[in-house]
């Protein structure tokens, strides 16, 4: 077990101008009025740095929706944290970008939904594509690390090659091609998003080819869909081993989706130090180490590599957070995953556009539900 977290994920707000159908935020989101204040976040960043945290990931929702974002970046920088902003880019004009860079932002990760504007806007439930492209060019004029993130799924994987070339033209240092992970909104929309086996197989070959072509220019990090993997992902690098997430109201979680586990209470930075939350809080101790493990995990030679997979996925799919992650081919409940893959149709839908978000919601209803904002 690490004696301290290496990275802190700060969900500074759940508010977001996009409505992405695969959003990893919980369905039950934190309201704006219960968000931590500037001073509370600054204290969290200082404690994190003292604890030995190296990286801070500012995320949301959309972190730009916080009017004090520049102040928060400056405070993180002053505390000594390597600061990464994970953003859709909406609400970021040139002047504020300059302020963020001057405040010491180290890394900016900009999300794209697709290379094709009609499809991107359809997936995000908002007209965002042209602004994102303009912003990507503006970011490149500054000296900070720039990552373009693309979430892939059934509705866009057929033109992955085109999307990689589109990102290449934006000239990031790094591109992240991440398959949707099935929690929160993505789980609700799983039938429309789950890729087919042939899509997954082709995408692996396309990414391998792109890695070779872009070597030394753009680093590619890809996240495979765990439903198609033989072994589960080492979720969060193991429960309470490397990462701590603070939600907008200050609750400390071992994982984005941990709120789905019944009976698990999350203590807040409003009442406790980060040191106590990491070492002592019941939520972080619940699945730390190997004592909780059932068979076949307990005697599995891979248990120190994938830590039994994801506790939240085990809960969501089997109803038991102690179960072996069904994504594992050795899991007693692996059949649940196989059934989902067999049930998947092979057709992709066609992008829809509408004059208002309400109309767009209505027109895409049987296909998927858009993420909506907290009250």
Partner 1 sequence: MAPPTDTSQPHFAPGCRWGGSETERMVLFPEGAIKIEGTGRRILEACDGERTFLDIVEELQANFSASDPARIRADVSSFLESLQQKRIIDY
Q: Which residues bind partner 1 (CB under 8 A)?
A: 6, 54-55, 80, 82, 84, 106-107, 109, 143-147, 173-174, 215-217, 219, 221
Q: Strand locations in 62-204, DSSP E?
A: 82-87, 107-112, 145-152, 174-179
Helix (H) or strand (E) holding 221: strand 219-223
Determine the Cα angle at 230 with ends 222 and 8, to 5°: 45
**Which DSSP string do the residues of 269-295 spell out, in sequence order?**
TTTS-HHHHHHT-HHHHTT-SSTT--T
Alpha-carbon span 14 to 365, nearest angstrom: 23
CB of 232 to partner 1, least distance (A): 21
Q: CA torsion 10→236→1→273, rounded to 10°?
A: 20
CB of 146 to partner 1, least distance (A): 7
In this complex, which beta carbon is closest to partner 1, that of residue 73 or of residue 187?
73
CB of 367 to partner 1, least distance (A): 33
Query: Which tokens go with 252?
Result: 């400390």
Give phi and psi for 147, each to the nearest 5.
Answer: -115, 140
CB of 134 to partner 1, least distance (A): 20
In this complex, which beta carbon is closest to partner 1, that of residue 82 or of residue 357?
82
In this complex, which beta carbon is closest to partner 1, that of residue 51 or of residue 269?
51
In this complex, which beta carbon is closest to partner 1, that of residue 4 or of residue 219?
219
**Which DSSP string do the residues of 3-45 spell out, in sequence order?**
SS-SEEEEE-----S---TT--S-SSPPPGGGSPPHHHHHHHH
In this complex, which beta carbon is closest to partner 1, that of residue 170 or of residue 194?
170
CB of 174 to partner 1, least distance (A): 6
In this complex, which beta carbon is closest to partner 1, that of residue 106 or of residue 279?
106
In this complex, which beta carbon is closest to partner 1, that of residue 105 or of residue 274?
105
Peptide bond before residue 13 is cis, with ω within 30 degrees of 0: no
Are 181 and 203 spatial neighbours (Cβ–Cβ below 8 Å)?
Answer: no
In this complex, which beta carbon is closest to partner 1, that of residue 172 or of residue 326?
172
CB of 362 to partner 1, least distance (A): 39
Alpha-carbon span 146 to 172, nearest angstrom: 5
CB of 105 to partner 1, least distance (A): 9
Helix orientation angle between 129-139 and 117-124, rounded to the nearest 10 degrees: 100
The sign of the dihedral angle between the CA atoms of 187, 193, 197, 200 is: negative
CB of 334 to partner 1, least distance (A): 30
């Amino acid at each position: 077990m690490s004696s301290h977290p290496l990275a802190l994920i700060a969900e500074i707000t759940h508010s977001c101008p996009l409505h992405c159908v695969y959003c990893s935020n919980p369905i039950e989101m934190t309201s704006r009025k219960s968000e931590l204040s500037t001073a509370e976040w600054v204290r969290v960043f200082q404690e994190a740095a003292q604890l030995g945290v190296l990286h801070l990931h500012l995320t949301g929702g959309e972190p730009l929706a916080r009017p004090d974002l520049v102040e928060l970046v400056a405070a993180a920088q002053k505390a000594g944290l390597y600061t990464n902003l994970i953003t859709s880019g909406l609400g970021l004009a040139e002047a504020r970008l300059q302020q963020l860079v001057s405040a010491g932002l180290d890394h900016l990760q900009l999300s794209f939904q697709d290379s094709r504007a009609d499809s991107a806007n359809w997936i995000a439930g908002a007209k965002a594509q042209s602004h994102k492209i303009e912003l990507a060019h503006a970011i490149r004029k500054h000296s900070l690390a720039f990552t373009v993130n693309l979430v892939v799924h059934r509705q866009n994987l057929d033109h992955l090659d085109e999307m990689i070339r589109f990102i290449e033209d934006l000239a990031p240092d790094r591109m992240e091609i991440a398959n949707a992970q099935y929690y929160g909104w993505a789980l609700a929309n799983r039938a429309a998003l789950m890729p087919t086996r042939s899509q997954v197989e082709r995408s692996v070959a396309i990414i391998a080819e792109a890695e070779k072509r872009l070597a030394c220019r753009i680093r590619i990090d890809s996240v495979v869909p765990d439903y198609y993997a033989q072994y589960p992902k080492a979720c969060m690098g193991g429960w309470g081993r490397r990462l701590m997430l603070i939600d907008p109201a200050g609750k400390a979680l071992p994982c984005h989706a941990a709120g789905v586990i019944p009976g698990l209470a999350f203590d807040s930075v409003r009442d406790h130090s980060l040191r106590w939350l990491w070492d002592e809080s019941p939520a972080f101790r619940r699945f730390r180490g190997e004592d909780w493990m059932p068979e076949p995990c307990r005697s599995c030679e891979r248990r120190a590599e994938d830590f039994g997979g994801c506790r939240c996925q085990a809960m969501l799919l089997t109803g038991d957070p102690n179960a072996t992650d069904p994504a594992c081919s050795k899991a007693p409940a692996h059949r649940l995953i196989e059934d989902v893959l067999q049930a998947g149709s092979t057709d992709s839908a066609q992008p829809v556009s509408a004059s208002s978000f309400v109309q767009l919601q209505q027109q895409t209803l049987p296909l998927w539900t858009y993420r909506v904002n907290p009250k």
